[in-house]
Amino acid sequence: MPWSLERFQCGRDLHFVTFSCYRRQPLLDTPSARSTFEIVMERTRRKHHFYITGYVVMPEHVHLLLSEPQVGKLSATIQVIKQLVSRQLGSTNERFWRRPDPLRSTPSFAKPSLTKPEKVVCRAS
């Protein structure tokens, strides 16, 4: 993460998160791949205690609108989802998920909440 960005978590806000498959390959284009993603997301949701308000699984990327987890950090929770999905789908590719480009996109949890900035209780680094 670039040095000038700060992650704002622990504000009990919703976060919109988008992540893509490696080189935008349609690795989630089959019903079984999408089902695997949903099962992993639900198991992780139960384990980390967060709410999913909405999500869209496209063939080459995912959009999530979710709350902050009660267990752990949001970034670690997203990492768990991505790792488990790539392992369960047994990707033959060297990579399954695309690394975020720090110059083009910023994870939503790295931006301060626009709703109530006074609610930010802690900052995660």
CB-CB contact of 50 with 72 (8 Å): no
Does any domain span residue 2?
no
Cα(42)–Cα(112) distance, integer angstroms: 27
Give me the residues of the chain with pLDDT under 70, please. Answer: 1-3, 5-11, 91-95, 97-125
Furthest C-alpha separation in the chain: 46
User: Is 0.85 topped by the overall pTM?
Assistant: no
Looking at residue 119, its pLDDT comes to: 45
Which residues form the domain of 82? 7-124
Does any domain span residue 76?
yes
Number of domains in the chain: 1
Does any domain span residue 51?
yes
**CATH number, domain with residue 58:** 3.30.70.1290
Looking at residue 59, its pLDDT comes to: 93
pLDDT digits (tens, 9 = 90+) for 5-30: 666 666 678 899 999 988 888 989 99
